[in-house]
Amino acid sequence: MIKYNNKNFVCDLDLGMELIRGKWKAVILCHLNEGPKRFLELQRITCGVSQKVLNEKLKQLQDDGLINKKVYDEVPPKVEYELTEIGKDLFPALNHIQQWAKKHTKTID
Amino acid sequence: MIKYNNKNFVCDLDLGMELIRGKWKAVILCHLNEGPKRFLELQRITCGVSQKVLNEKLKQLQDDGLINKKVYDEVPPKVEYELTEIGKDLFPALNHIQQWAKKHTKTID
């Protein structure tokens, strides 16, 4: 058993999956791999998911150390989200899942 | 938008993640990569998850074409679950997530 944030996980994979669980996290991370993005860009990518839900997902990804929130000292204020090194390190797996789904969905549909 | 099983997905990654969503699917697939396993072995690996939940996950993985249920013509009856080629094809991504979590959880804990 592995303990993380007061939850128990049966193995590292179980914990790793927890960090990207839910409908949007993997998609957000994959798009941030192209470069930093602003909130509205991420909302467009996630097809208009509510501000509340997107904020929640971004906050969890920050808390888990996968992304950074960059606040620029500008007027009007500019905020961007970018991958941390830990977030970047996950990309090959997300890319594999994307290619895998593309290859096999015709077979399994 | 991609349509699969009457659900909409914003991209291939979104669909791919859907096929392994939930607490146990990735863990089950990872263990089946070692070779076919019986129901009770999978229940042990998933730390005693209920029969109902495990059956449900295995059924979904079968329906999505990631695993096969092999029923042997024996007495007493013997049933094993094994990865399909599609399921095997996903393993490098799951392995990457496992190694990634192992490497980074000390950093993010």
User: From A64, which residue of chain B is nearest by alpha-carbon distance?
Assistant: B108
pLDDT at B109 over 70: no
Report residue B82: phi and psi, to 5°: -140, 155
Cβ burial, residue B7 (10 Å; 0-12/13-18/19+): exposed
> What is the pLDDT, as a whole number, of residue A49?
87
Q: What is the mean pLDDT of residues A57-81?
A: 94
Are the C-beta atoms of residues A92 and A66 closer than 8 Å to each other?
A: no
> B22-79, pLDDT tens digit by residue?
889 999 999 999 999 999 999 998 887 899 999 999 999 999 999 999 999 998 889 9
In this predicted complex, what is the ipTM? 0.92
DSSP three-state, residue B89: helix
Q: Give chain A as a DSSP string.
A: -EEETTEEESSHHHHHHHHT-SSSHHHHHHHHTTS-B-HHHHHHHTTS--HHHHHHHHHHHHHTTSEEEEEES-SS-EEEEEE-HHHHHHHHHHHHHHHHHHHHHHHH-
> Domain locations in chain A?
23-108
Chain B partners of A109 at a C-beta cutoff of 8 Å?
Answer: 4-5
> What is the pLDDT, as a whole number, of residue A59?
97
> What is the pLDDT, as a whole number, of residue B100?
97
d(CA B28, CA B80): 13
Q: Under an 8 Å CB criterion, which residues of A touch B?
A: 1-2, 4-5, 10-17, 19-21, 23, 26-27, 30, 45-47, 64-65, 86, 89-90, 92-94, 96-105, 107-109
Name which residue leads in pLDDT, A47 or A99: A99
Report residue A11: phi and psi, to 5°: -165, 175
> What is the pLDDT, as a whole number, of residue A105?
82
User: From B29, which residue of chain A is nearest by alpha-carbon distance?
Assistant: A13
Nearest to B24 by CA among B9, B8, B44, B7: B44
> A16-62, pLDDT tens digit by residue?
999 999 889 999 999 999 999 999 999 998 887 899 999 999 999 99
Give chain B's radius of gyration (CA, Å). 15
User: From A45, which residue of chain B is nearest by alpha-carbon distance?
Assistant: B10
Amino acid at A10: V
Amino acid at B5: N
Which CATH number among 1.20.950.20, 3.40.50.80, 3.40.640.10, 1.10.10.10 corresponds to the domain A23-108?
A: 1.10.10.10
Are the C-beta atoms of residues B89 and A102 closer than 8 Å to each other?
A: no
- Asked if the Cβ–Cβ distance from B102 to A12 is below 8 Å, we say yes
Nearest to A80 by CA among A3, A28, A20, A27: A28
DSSP three-state, residue B68: strand
Distance from CA of A93 to the nearest CA of B (A): 4
Q: What is the mean pLDDT of residues B92-96?
A: 98
DSSP state at residue B57: H
Chain A partners of B45 at a C-beta cutoff of 8 Å?
Answer: 10
| Residues β-bridged to residue A4 | A7
Chain B partners of A86 at a C-beta cutoff of 8 Å?
Answer: 104, 107-108
> What is the pLDDT, as a whole number, of residue B55?
95
The CATH topology of domain B24-94 is Arc Repressor Mutant, subunit A (1.10.10)
> What is the pLDDT, as a whole number, of residue B98?
96
- Asked if the Cβ–Cβ distance from A107 to B94 is below 8 Å, we say no
Q: What is the mean pLDDT of residues A81-90?
A: 98
